[in-house]
Structure 1
Amino acid sequence: MNWQLEPILTRFQALVQGLLNSLPNMALGVLLFLLFWFVSGVSRRTVQALAERAGQSAGIALVFGRLTGWVILTLGLLVGLTVIFPTLTAASLFGALGVSGVAIGFAFKDIFQNLLAGLLILITRPFRIGDQIVSGEHEGTVEDIQVRATLLRTYDNRRVVIPNSELYTNRVIVNTAYDRRRLAVTVGIGYGDDIAHAKRVILETLSGVEDIRPDPAPTVLVRELADFSVNLEVRYWIDPPVRREVVESQDRVLEALKPALIEAGIDLPLPTQQVLFHDQTEETDGDRARQREGWPARESNPRPRAALRQAPEMP
């Protein structure tokens, strides 16, 4: 079998020659892209500074700067590709993209939805960078509002990436929206204790706890007559309302209330249960012919304990 190497070598030489001829275009295209990269960075910082100088928030200025940088960088990519590939035009590029237009359309739908939601979040300002929010099962501090998603740092030092459209359309609790916050702890006292006396002791104790605001004044309300205690809800206000201060404040309040209530003679009851045997409650219990608890009736039954106690002893 005769191998024709000459056509293969000819094609290889043509490919090498074409690559060598395109090296200047490739170098020029890469240089232009790097130039646009530099311009995009300068433009991003400039737009961000101008937006902050115009009175916009840091979040809005950051997003506007990023959008400007992405637009210039995309333009630089298109220019670089047209220089490297002279036959490639904008019309042919968009025509090639149109081949998979359906899939790209769905992808850009989510991208533009999150982008628009991020812009609306920054403009309407339901929360800002640095706020502590609760979204669904996640709670933490807002670290950044990006084009696609918002970065949330949880209190156990984990990062949660939440799409902007989800934050904009769902409920979000902003814990740091106001400069003060009302907290509440529950204290249970015994049924035999004087409720008014317990309230006075609690309020006097709260007056000496650190960081509790005197205005609005703390309040104590009876919330529930529970199984083994009367539950009192102790309400008080603090500022600032960040998570660390909330947890530390509740710790100080409960640590102060426990010895104060015990010293005042107020019971802090534990859960208790009373267990009665089946034939200790009623005279008919244990008599399966007459009892009401659903045991099958029969004629030969052992006598209940109450009947045994009343019966005379056998000689």
Structure 2
Amino acid sequence: MSSSLTPESVVPLQVIPEQGVLVQEFVIPAVTFLVGFIAVFLVGKVVLTPVVKRVLATRGHDPSVQSLADSLMSVVVWVLALTIALTLAGFGGFIAALGVFGGAVALAVGFAAQDLLGNFVAGIFILKDRPFEVGDWIEVGDITGRVQDIDLRVTRLKTFDNELITVPNGDLANNALKNPVAFDKLRQKFVFGIGYDDDIDHAKEVILDEAAKHPDILDDPGTSIRVSELADSYVGLQTRFWIANPNRADFVKTRSELVQAVKERCDAEAIDMPYPHTQLTGGIEVDGLKADQATTTSDD
């Protein structure tokens, strides 16, 4: 039994979609996504980010907060551009799937990078509480340096030996740190030692006079002196003085100049500034040794 196929009964096999379907389902969404992404990204970079920077600068936020805001705004602009472009292109289902996948990835990364996330959270609290700012010099543990940059994960310090130290924000947030320049004045202390035979009141007058002559030492609060110790070789006079707008270079220089001026003044006014020394007294009996030496010589 044979059958014949007519041209009308043959159904053509379409491997490649028709041109209209291809344009409708692929080209137009791709172009819409690309145009939407570029438009939102440019608006965010040209308009949104500069506005945020200007608002923070107007409100007096320090450069560290402005730098953090710049980093966060870059991430926000990318996320907004991607999300809006996908929505305009009709890929809402893809966004939902991406959100579920991103949540799972975030959960896995959270368990694997707890320290990293802890440093991130600590960085946010540092920028919120502002225990220090860019330009301050701080001391944490045995590390001393000037703050160069505050990032979300780490803080970078430049030591006074011109070394760069990167400190995780978790260490700064969870440990005690000292910020000597947090306020507009800083008090310094130094113990001058004078001899037991010297006049204490006279020595105090000399120290106060030299402190009053120094242009960087404040008159209010004034310099104060207290007898702090009776050491083996000297009487300790603890001198406390204040400097304004402190930084490390200023206070080291000021203290050095005051100590030198007091030392030279004390030398000129015959005020002794003794140093620890040991003196041996007594004698050694050597008569027996001489007798033995004499006996040995006579035997020879």
TM-score (norm: length of structure 2): 0.70
Kindly tell me: are residues 98 and 125 of structure 1, through their superposed partners in 2, closer, same or farther at Cα, counting changes over 3 Å?
Answer: closer
Structure 1: how far apart are the matches of 2:34 and 2:137? 43
Which of 133, 138, 144 is the equivalent residue of 1:139? 144
1:165 aligned to 2:155? no
Segments of 5+ residues of structure 2 without an aligned counterpart are 1-28, 289-300
Which of 215, 222, 228 is the equivalent residue of 1:223? 228
Corresponding residue number in structure 1 for 2:50: 45
1:236 Cα deviation after fit: 0.9
Structure 2: how far apart are the matches of 1:181 and 1:305? 60
Give the root-mean-square deviation of aligned CA atoms. Answer: 3.8
1:251 aligned to 2:267? no
Alignment map for 1:17-36 (pairs within 5 Å): none
1:257 Cα deviation after fit: 0.7
1:213 Cα deviation after fit: 0.9
Kindly tell me: are residues 98 and 126 of structure 1, through their superposed partners in 2, closer, same or farther at Cα, counting changes over 3 Å?
Answer: closer
1:250 Cα deviation after fit: 1.0
Which of 65, 72, 92 is the equivalent residue of 1:67? 72
Corresponding residue number in structure 1 for 2:8: none
Structure 2: how far apart are the matches of 1:213 and 1:155? 26
C-alpha deviations, 1:79-125, integer Å up to 9, x for none? 999xxxx9x94566677778877752234533433233222222222
1:128 aligned to 2:133? yes
Segments of 5+ residues of structure 1 without an aligned counterpart are 1-24, 281-303, 309-315
Corresponding residue number in structure 1 for 2:201: 196
C-alpha deviations, 1:183-211, integer Å up to 9, x for none? 12222111221212211221122221221
Determine what percentage of the aligned residue pairs are the same residue.
33
1:177 aligned to 2:171? no
Structure 2: how far apart are the matches of 1:207 and 1:252? 12
Which of 52, 61, 84 is the equivalent residue of 1:57? 61
Kindly tell me: are residues 252 and 28 of structure 1, through their superposed partners in 2, closer, same or farther at Cα, counting changes over 3 Å?
Answer: farther
User: Contact (CA 8 Å) 2:233, 2:276: kept in 1 or not?
Assistant: yes
Kindly tell me: are residues 38 and 170 of structure 1, through their superposed partners in 2, closer, same or farther at Cα, counting changes over 3 Å?
Answer: farther
Corresponding residue number in structure 2 for 1:233: 238
Alignment map for 1:226-305 (pairs within 5 Å): 226-276=231-281, 305=285
1:139 Cα deviation after fit: 1.8
How many residues get paired? 261
Structure 1: how far apart are the matches of 2:34 and 2:146? 40
Amino acid at match of 1:149: V
Kindly tell me: are residues 276 and 27 of structure 1, through their superposed partners in 2, closer, same or farther at Cα, counting changes over 3 Å?
Answer: farther
Structure 1: how far apart are the matches of 2:32 and 2:142? 51
1:154 aligned to 2:159? yes
- The worse-fitting range, judged by mean Cα deviation, of 59-68 and 96-105 is 96-105
Structure 1: how far apart are the matches of 2:60 and 2:112? 30
Kindly tell me: are residues 241 and 136 of structure 1, through their superposed partners in 2, closer, same or farther at Cα, counting changes over 3 Å?
Answer: same
Structure 2: how far apart are the matches of 1:34 and 1:138? 46
User: Contact (CA 8 Å) 1:201, 1:264: kept in 2 or not?
Assistant: no
Amino acid at match of 2:211: L
SS of 1:123 mapped into structure 2: helix
Corresponding residue number in structure 2 for 1:3: none
TM-score (norm: length of structure 1): 0.67
User: Contact (CA 8 Å) 1:117, 1:164: kept in 2 or not?
Assistant: yes
